[in-house]
Homo-oligomer: A and B are copies of this chain.
Amino acid sequence: MRTLHVELGERSYPIYIGAGILNTLGELSAKHGLTRKSPHLIVTDDQVAPHYLAQVEEQLKSEGYTVISHIVPSGESSKSLQVYEEVMTTAINGKLDRSSAVFALGGGVVGDLAGFVAATYMRGVTFVQIPTTILAHDSSVGGKVAVNHPLAKNMIGAFHQPVMVVYDVNTLMSLPPREVSSGLAEMVKHGLILDRDFAYWCRENGSKLLSLEPEALIYGLERGCAIKADVVSQDEREGGLRAILNLGHTIGHAIEAVGGYGRFLHGEAIAIGMAGSARLAEKLGRPADLHNETVSMLKAVNLPVTLPDDVSVDRIMDAMQHDKKFAEGQMVFIVPESIGSVSIVKDVPVEAVRSVVEQLKGEG
């Protein structure tokens, strides 16, 4: 078992990563001081529950814990205020109190939803993350928790750090291949923004990662988490530096929105977005191999790097106007400087962005 420490002063916490470590969940919970006097709540979804819920419940019960569970439908639609209220109802009926913990067993959706419940149930209780997707190596670091508003994603949320993250890579074995690739997009992103060697490592080990080879997976997740943790430690509440984590996300979010959430997975959309950012970088005078290199890294883990023909450029541009502010024809963008380094550029001409989006459709 590997342990990575996320340094956040009194809110610091460890991420445990390993194969089969779900079998130590009860022990780890005791080590982290979870009380046996209050009930705890496991939140999971209906795709994850059949695989791992019984094991998690068993682990906690065998250590003397009282647990109740709440299973939400799989998918982004569970990140709603309505499902949030239903989980709250379960917590109240289950008599959770201020000493209780909420466990998120699942991917980013369950993590964000259960995390927001933990942040706000009785004004905040203990939160434990048990990620079961590769993408969740991203979402389980940084304490951002949220639900969606019908008008916009992640608008309602909080910063609420877990007390520990228990990342058992064995749980990833049941993940559908598209979800594997989607999660690897954030891993590659972590290389692209801050760690050139890691970005190239991801390319070289693309097939091992895709086949969930444990050693590669553990290294990749640990390094991915470590890079994100490093950024978050320097900027917990997203005042500045943390913005670099949004590489590919401005275009990516627009693609998700225009695709109607569901057509593109998050990682697929930001992969296309990162390819776009690299093109944009070249347009703005950065090295001319950025796009080729970025694209090769994304392709190595089976990610798309172009927009399908039927996606409208106008609608993508419109969606971006909702996402970010265009101040007098200019946009803020995270722009690669080289592989492993990015900068925040505040005056990117909207016209340059439009031409990049057009190119994303053309290339093939």
Contacts and interface: CB of A to CB of B under 8 A. Distances in A.
Interface of A: 81, 84-85, 88-89, 92-93, 97-98, 119-124, 144, 146, 149-152, 155-159, 237-238, 325
A237 B11 CA distance: 14
A149 B97 contact: no
A92 B123 contact: no
Contacts of A84: 81
Contacts of A124: 158-159, 237
A93 B151 contact: yes
A146 B124 CA distance: 11
Given A92-B152, A149-B88, A149-B89, A158 B120 contact: yes
Most interface-central of A124, A149, A156 (chain B CB within 10 A): A156
A157 B88 CA distance: 11
Contacts of A238: 98, 123
Nearest to A239: B98
A149 B81 contact: no
Contact of A155 (B119, B121, B144): B121
Contact of A146 (B123, B144, B150, B325): B123
A352 to B, nearest CB: 23
Nearest to A157: B123
A325 B88 CA distance: 19
B123 A159 contact: yes
Nearest to A152: B92
Contacts of A88: 149, 155-156
Nearest to A81: B85
Contact of A85 (B119, B144, B149, B325): B149
B155 A92 contact: yes
A183 B81 CA distance: 33
A92 B151 contact: yes
B325 A149 contact: no
A333 B238 CA distance: 42
A120 B123 contact: no
A286 B290 CA distance: 78
Given A85-B149, A88-B149, A151-B92, A156 B325 contact: no
B81 A151 contact: no
* Shortest beta-carbon contacts, A-B, top 9: A123-B157, A92-B151, A120-B156, A81-B85, A123-B158, A88-B149, A92-B152, A123-B159, A120-B158
